Amino acid sequence: MPLDQRRLEELALTYVARFATSSGKLTAYLARKLRERGWAEDAGPPPDLAALAARYAEIGYLDDAAYARSKGEGLLRRGYGARRVDQALIGAGIGETLRAEVAPDEAARRSAVVALARRRRFGPFGELANDPARRDKQLAAMLRAGHGFADARHVLDAPSAEALDEWVGEGAEDGPQRGEWD
């Protein structure tokens, strides 16, 4: 059944009520629905989806900044790195300026890489075997998760979990500096 203005707004309201979303994701969803169902010929010209999303943001149904912060923090807690966070926000239609504002700081990046290592039992959280093939696989997994090479290598070379906790704490105190193991 082709969409008209009333039905399109019903779909939009249902979507924003059901999902935490961004303006870009709402626009993409509505564009997909228009492609799937078409636009009723007697309903006038097709709607401006970006304007509809902007109106919903103005009303307060959408908040791209809150969405970006929430999505980014959630991914970091799960152990994903800054690059994967940025990719997820690009996919959600978040603009470059807002992505830069919510980008994780050094302490958050360090905490995320340690969270991944803890969860996947990499480095000092797993078996301390001197297996270069295993270490390479762990390093590759950390890079795929969006972490930087230096941070991933730092975690894998850590002598203990306590040393990593100190390293995360140093990131909060010192900013972007990276320490080396003694």
Contacts 24+ apart (CB under 8 A), 14-18: 16/56, 16/61, 16/62
Q: How confident is the model at residue 29 (pLDDT cuts 50, 70, 90)?
A: very high
Q: How many residues does the chain have?
A: 182
CB neighbours (10 Å) of residue 44?
Answer: 10
Is there a single domain that holds both residue 97 and residue 169?
yes
Most confidently modeled range among 98-107, 129-138, 170-179: 98-107
CB-based contact 171:104 (threshold 8 Å) = no
> Do 84 and 170 share a domain, yes or no?
yes
Asked if the structure places residue 71 within a domain, the reply is no
103, 150: one domain: yes
When pLDDT is cut at 50, 70 and 90, the band that residue 23 belongs to is: very high
Q: Is residue 17, in this structure, part of any structural domain at all?
A: yes
Residues 92 and 170 in one domain: yes
In a domain, 180, yes or no: no
The number of domains in the chain is: 2
* 122 and 167 housed in the same domain: yes
Q: Are residues 94 and 46 part of one domain? A: no
Per DSSP, the residues of 109-172 read: HHHHHHHHHHHHT-GGGS-----HHHHHHHHHHHHHTT--HHHHHHHHT-S-HHHHHHHHHHHH
In this structure, of 78-82, 90-94, 172-176, the range with the lowest mean pLDDT score is: 172-176
C-alpha–C-alpha distance, residues 60 and 119, integer Å = 37
Same domain? 110 vs 157: yes
Per 3-state DSSP, the chain is made up of helix, strand and coil in percentages (nearest 5) of 70, 0, 30
CA distances from 22 to 12, 65, 90, 139 (A): 12, 9, 11, 33
Examine the domain organization and report whether 49 and 104 are in the same domain: no
Q: Which residue has tokens 């919903």?
A: 56
Q: Tens digit of pLDDT for each residue in 120-150?
A: 999 899 876 678 899 999 999 999 999 999 9
Answer yes or no: is pLDDT of 1 > 80: yes
- Report yes or no on 67 lying in a domain: no
Of all residues in the chain, the percent with pLDDT exceeding 70 is: 94
Residues 101 and 166 occupy one common structural domain: yes
Q: What are residue 80's phi and psi, to 5 degrees?
A: -85, 150
The reply to whether 94 and 47 lie within a common domain is: no
- Which structural domain, as residue segments, surrounds residue 106? 79-174
Mean of pLDDT values over 92-101: 95
Q: Are residues 58 and 92 in the same domain?
A: no
Q: Give dist(CA 40, CA 38) in Å, integer.
A: 7
Q: Kindly state whether residue 32 falls inside one of the protein's structural domains.
A: yes
Give the per-residue pLDDT at 178.
42
Domain membership of residue 70 (yes or no) is: no
Residue 72 covered by a domain: no
Q: Please give the average per-residue pLDDT across 65-80, as a whole number.
A: 95
Looking at the fold, whether 106 and 158 belong to one and the same domain comes out as yes
> Is 41 part of any domain?
yes
The verdict on pTM exceeding 0.75 is yes
Q: Which of 62, 89, 108 is the last residue of a domain?
A: 62
